[in-house]
Amino acid sequence: MSRPINVNSEIGKLKTVLVHRPGAELENLMPDYLERLLFDDIPYLEQAQKEHDGFTDLLRSKDIEVLYLEDLAAESLVTEEIRVKFIDQYLEEANIRSTTAKAKVREMLLGMKDNREMIDKTMAGMQKVELPQYEMNSLTDMVETDYPFVIDPMPNLYFTRDPFATMGHGVTLNRMYAETRNRETIYGEYIFAHHPRFGGQDVPVLYTREDTTRIEGGDELVLSKDVLAVGISQRTDAASIEKLAQNIFDAGLDFKTVLGFNIGEYRKFMHLDTVFTMIDYDKFSIHPEIEGDLEVYSITKGTDGLNIVREEDTLEHILCKYLNLDKVQLVRCGGANITAAAREQWNDGSNTLTIAPGEVVVYDRNPITNKLMEEAGVKLNYIPGSELVRGRGGPRCMSMPLVREDI
């Protein structure tokens, strides 16, 4: 029987992908809280949804099955017991300080008999004005009057790449860098445990959300059936990569080597996939700013624990060595001009989603990088991203492959 998750490369023909259509959570963004919620601006929801629908229509036109996080999460609540457990866990993590407000929200969520409607609400967050009037006689209620939310929104959900990640036939449920995104992983926990498509199937969990060191899916790249690349970044700790490698080896997955790419801790390149992606058997997009200083470490299974080595060679040579290639081509984001490189990287010029070897989805707004990719023989499918990009993510960030054809 075929496995529900099969991802043995970054480039094998994409068959099934998980996305989230941006929803009401974007309308709960306010200038005062943008930084904490990891946003740089407020997208216009209607336009963002149009752009996202264009993205998913394109994927469907390529015979890719598109699944929505919000549907899978709702379908995971297969019994009343699981539904109540989900609501209680969600509320526990929602950071509601007023016990009366928490009880009111619980009542509201339990009262929503349509699971999709309830899941959408958990994603959107809740303003205090949505709660029924109640007597504010606790100190918490009296003091916290200015803050408009009883529950914060989860505006980053449309970047389905990050809260969990697939590799081989397993999945990592991630411990996120920021509190705002840590709440997103709850959906993955329920989906992979209870959804009829995944629950009870052979889906090894290779990292858990209870882990204390951080890792995010934008840093997790499946370079081949033998090799993973994981960014050491603003979002992923070196210690998490060691744990992940150990868990993979212990679970008996086929991966032989985990390469740690140290890209430094910067907001502008928060994840490895914002500066480096694989677009064909031997082609990669890269932001030139990381090239010079990039440190790469290889982690393999040793006789007694992990064998960790700093690779002392150029990136091209390291990639050739681990992917058994004679030559690789690096397509530089923005080309040779440092201003264009910085601008197009900021607008996710190197955050390509590869849907088949040598065929990618990109934002149309990065003409210099796109032209260079075309000149390298890559087939480009363009989507507009004027609103979507305001959350600082591109096509790879907005998609989590569940099944790719093996290559």
Ligand X SMILES: NC(=O)NCCC[C@H](N)C(=O)O
CA nearest 113: which of 88, 84, 71, 134?
Answer: 84
- Out of 8, 156, 347, 399, point to the residue binding ligand X (CB under 6 A): 156
**391 interacts with ligand X by CB under 6 A:** yes
**328 interacts with ligand X by CB under 6 A:** no
CA distance 404 to 407: 9
Residue 56 contacts residue 104 (beta carbons within 8 Å) = no
Which two tokens mark 41? 């601006």
Largest CA distance in the chain: 72
CA 46 to chain centre: 22
Query: 75 vs 216, which CB is nearer to ligand X?
Result: 216
Task: Give me the 175-214 binding string for ligand X, x by CB under 6 A, dash otherwise.
Answer: ------x---------------------------------
CA 81 to chain centre: 29
**12 interacts with ligand X by CB under 6 A:** no
- Out of 194, 332, 365, 392, point to the residue binding ligand X (CB under 6 A): 392
Q: Which helix (H) or strand (E) holds 402?
A: strand 400-404
**163 interacts with ligand X by CB under 6 A:** no
Query: 128 vs 268, which CB is nearer to ligand X?
Result: 268
Q: Which of 73, 318, 341, 397 is catalytic?
A: 397
Residue 348 contacts residue 386 (beta carbons within 8 Å) = no
**55 interacts with ligand X by CB under 6 A:** no
Phi, psi dihedrals of residue 257, rounded to the nearest 5°:
-135, 135
CA nearest 259: which of 242, 273, 274, 237?
Answer: 242
- Please return the burial class of 254, using the count of CB atoms within 10 Å of its CB with bins 0-12, 13-18 and 19+: exposed
Annotated catalytic residue 397: yes
Query: 5 vs 38, which CB is nearer to ligand X?
Result: 38
> How many residues of this chain interact with ligand X, rule: CB under 6 A?
16
**270 interacts with ligand X by CB under 6 A:** yes
- Out of 125, 231, 334, 393, point to the residue binding ligand X (CB under 6 A): 393
**Binding piece for ligand X, criterion CB under 6 A, among 153-161, 224-232, 282-290, 374-382:** 153-161
- Out of 25, 51, 152, 162, point to the residue binding ligand X (CB under 6 A): 162
Of 21-50, which residues contact ligand X (CB under 6 A)? 38-39
Query: 332 vs 392, which CB is nearer to ligand X?
Result: 392
Q: What DSSP state is assigned to residue 295? A: E
CA nearest 307: which of 240, 226, 242, 221?
Answer: 242
* Catalytic residue IDs: 397
The site for ligand X (CB under 6 A) is made up of 38-39, 156, 159, 161-162, 181, 218, 270-271, 273-274, 391-393, 397
